[in-house]
Amino acid sequence: MITKILSTSDEDLALAGKIIRNGGLVAFPTETVYGLGANALNPEATKNIYLAKGRPSDNPLIVHIAKKEQIVPLVENVTENAKKLMDAFFPGPLTIILKKSNLVNNVVSGGLDTVAVRMPVNKIAHRLLEFCDCPVAAPSANSSGLPSPTKAKYVIDDMNGKIDAIIDGGDCDFGVESTVITLATDVPTILRPGSVTKEMLESVIGRVEVARAVLEGMKNDEVAASPGMKYKHYAPKNAKIIMVKGSKEQYENFVNTKKGALALCFDDDNITIDKLTYGKENDDESQAHELFDALRLIDEMNFKKVYARIPSTTGVGMAVYNRLIRACAFQILDLTKPFTIGLTGGSGSGKGYVAKVFEDFGFNVIDADFYARQIFDKKPSIIPLLQTEFGNDIIEEGKLNRQLLADRAFKNAESTKRLNEITHPAIIELCKENAKFPCVFDAPQLFESGGDELCYKTIAVIADDDIRLKRIMERDNITKEQALRRFSVQKSNDEFEQICDYVIYNNNEDISSQIKNILEEML
C-alpha cells in the first residue's frame, strides 16, 4: 500500500475525512500525540487499526468526537460527573470512560462493556473530525509497544506502507497521551495520567483515585482496569533503561562513573558521559513534551544501558513517571538507600571472602560484626536499656562486664531476642553512619535486624552444608555438634535463596564472574 502524506490544508483534510468515512486509516496530529484514525462505527475498519499497529485485540480504542453532543449515542448515560468533566475539559487532553451503548462494537471496546471518549482541542484534529462526520476510533499512531509518536516522522517510521494516509501537522503540544479517567466505577479512577492532572480533576468532581498500576508494575494475577496498562510499553528496542532514584547530586555522581552508558537527564544536570535530555527539572510540562522524542532517539543510538533521572509524581509529573517507569520495565535503582547491596548467608558460606571480591569491583564493605563489637563504646545510650533488661550490675565501676552480659543474654532464645532488639538498631545506625556509596553491607542477621529494608538489593552467599561445616570447624576450632547447633539457629540455604534477590554460590565457583553478572543486571 502507498501511504499518502497529506498537508493540513482544508482540501487534504477533506480528503482524509473521506478516506476515514469510507473505511480507510489515516494518522493525524492531536494536542497529545499522533492518532491512527478509523470510522468507529465500521468494525472492519477498526480491525485494520489493530493489524497496522500489531495491537492485541483486547486493548480497546478511544473514540474521538468533534462536538460534545456526539457522546450521547455512544454511551448508556452521560452521568453528572461526565457532564461536569466535559464542561471543564472538552475539548482537551482528557478521555472519559462510561458504560457503552449498543452502537459501539466489540472491536472498538476490546470486548468490554465500556467506551472511552475524547474530544481533541488540536485545530487540525478538530477540522478532520468535522470532515469525517462520524466518531473516529484512534489509538496512538505507533507500532504497538513503541513510544507514541509526537512528530509526523515517527508515524512515517512506524506506519508507512500500512495505512492510507498520514497528515503532517508538526509537533504535538503536550507530548504524552490524554488522561484516561473511568466514571464506570464507584469512585472515578485515573487509569492513565496525562496533562489533565488529578488535582485538576478533583477540583471539578471531588475525590478521584489513581489505579495502582499507574505508578507500580502489575502483579502477575492482577486484572488490568485498563488493558493498555498490562503491556510492556514505550521501551526502546535495544537499550535497557534504569530509573535512578536520588537527588540531583546522587544521580550525577553515580551516572558520571558509568562511561559507555547514556544519561537520560534534565537540561541542567552536570553530566560528563553521553547524555540526552528530557526537559527541565521542576518543569513537568517540558518533560512530558520531550520524553517520547528522547525515547525514540535512544533507538537510533547504540547504547546498551541508559540511566534515567527520576521525575516527580505530582502534577503532569505523574504522567511522565507513568510512561518512563514502563520504558524501564519498572527497574528503579534506589540511591537513597544507605546500602547498595545487603550480603548475607549462613556460617561458613564465605560471605567475608565474597565481600572482599566486591572490593575489587570498587565497593566499600561495611562489616556488621565489626561494628557490632563497637556499639557499647560508640552507642552508649543503649547501656541503660541493657541494664533494665539484664540487671544493673552488668556495669561495674563504670565499665561493662561483657562476660556477665553474655551469660545472661545468651541464656535462652527469649533473652537473646531481647538483646538483639536492643542492639540491632544501634548496630544498623553505626553501619549507616559509615556507609559510602557504592556499599556492600555484610550482615549475617540482615533480615532479622531489618537491615534488608535499607539495601537496594540483597544477595545470599550459598555453600553446601558439608562444606560450611568443614570450614567453621577448622576456622573456629569447634566440634561438629557445636557447628550443627550454630546452623540450627540460622536460616537454611533454601530460605536464604528464597528471601534474597540474587544468589552467589561459593563452594568452588568463580566469584568474580558471578558478581559481574549480577552487577550487569542490577546497576
Residue 378, Cβ neighbours under 10 Å: how many?
15
Q: Examine residue 140 and tell whether it contacts Mg ion (CB under 5 A).
A: yes
Q: Which is nearer to ligand TXA, 34 or 307 (CB)?
A: 34
| DSSP-assigned letters across all residues of 301-338 | S--SEEEEEPPPSSTTHHHHHHHHHHHTTT-EEETTSS
Q: Which of 180, 357, 455, 463 binds ligand TXA (CB under 6 A)?
A: 180
Q: Which is nearer to ligand TXA, 115 or 523 (CB)?
A: 115
Q: Which is nearer to Mg ion, 39 or 140 (CB)?
A: 140
Q: Examine residue 490 and tell whether it contacts Mg ion (CB under 5 A).
A: no
SS in 3 state form for 12-47? Answer: HHHHHHHHHHCCCCEEECCCCCCEEEEECCCHHHHH
Site string for ligand TXA, 67-96 (x = CB under 6 A): ----------------------------x-
Part of the chain binding ligand TXA (CB under 6 A), chosen from 54-62, 248-256, 307-315, 338-346: 54-62
| Separation between Cα atoms, residue 2 and residue 279, nearest integer Å | 36
Torsion of CA 404, 405, 409, 411, to 10 degrees: 0
> At closest approach, how far in Å is the CB of 288 from ligand TXA?
11
Residues sharing a CB contact under 8 Å with residue 164, sequence separation 6 or more, in sequence order: 1, 3, 4, 19, 24, 25, 26
Burial class (CB in 10 A: 0-12, 13-18, 19+), 284: buried
Q: Contact at 8 Å (CB) between 101 and 45?
A: no
| Separation between Cα atoms, residue 335 and residue 312, nearest integer Å | 15
Q: Examine residue 42 and tell whether it contacts Mg ion (CB under 5 A).
A: no
Q: Which is nearer to ligand TXA, 180 or 483 (CB)?
A: 180
* Residue 192 contact partner, candidates ligand TXA, Mg ion, none, CB within 5 to 8 A by sort of partner: ligand TXA
Q: Examine residue 139 and tell whether it contacts ligand TXA (CB under 6 A).
A: yes
| Separation between Cα atoms, residue 117 and residue 227, nearest integer Å | 16
Part of the chain binding ligand TXA (CB under 6 A), chosen from 136-144, 242-250, 275-283, 461-469: 136-144
| Separation between Cα atoms, residue 287 and residue 274, nearest integer Å | 19
Part of the chain binding ligand TXA (CB under 6 A), chosen from 137-145, 203-211, 279-287, 415-423: 137-145
* Residue 208 contact partner, candidates Mg ion, ligand TXA, none, CB within 5 to 8 A by sort of partner: none
Q: Which is nearer to ligand TXA, 101 or 416 (CB)?
A: 101
Q: Which of 48, 178, 340, 349 binds ligand TXA (CB under 6 A)?
A: 178
> At closest approach, how far in Å is the CB of 309 from Mg ion?
24
| Separation between Cα atoms, residue 222 and residue 93, nearest integer Å | 28
> At closest approach, how far in Å is the CB of 206 from ligand TXA?
21
Q: Which of 115, 152, 316, 459 binds ligand TXA (CB under 6 A)?
A: 115
Q: Examine residue 66 and tell whether it contacts ligand TXA (CB under 6 A).
A: no
SS3 106: helix
* Residue 345 contact partner, candidates Mg ion, ligand TXA, none, CB within 5 to 8 A by sort of partner: none
Q: Which is nearer to Mg ion, 54 or 450 (CB)?
A: 54
Task: Give the residue nearest to ligand TXA (CB).
Answer: 228
| Separation between Cα atoms, residue 390 and residue 398, nearest integer Å | 16
CA distances 520 to 39, 109, 304, 405, 454, Å, are 48, 42, 11, 45, 21
Q: Rounded to the nearest 5 degrees, what angle is found at the Cα of 173, between the Cα atoms of 96 and 332?
A: 75
Q: Examine residue 214 and tell whether it contacts ligand TXA (CB under 6 A).
A: no
Stated as kind and residue range, the H or E segment containing 148 is: none
Binding site for Mg ion (CB under 5 A): 140
Binding site for ligand TXA (CB under 6 A): 30, 32-33, 35, 59-62, 95, 97, 109, 112, 114-116, 118, 138-140, 177-178, 180, 191-192, 226-228
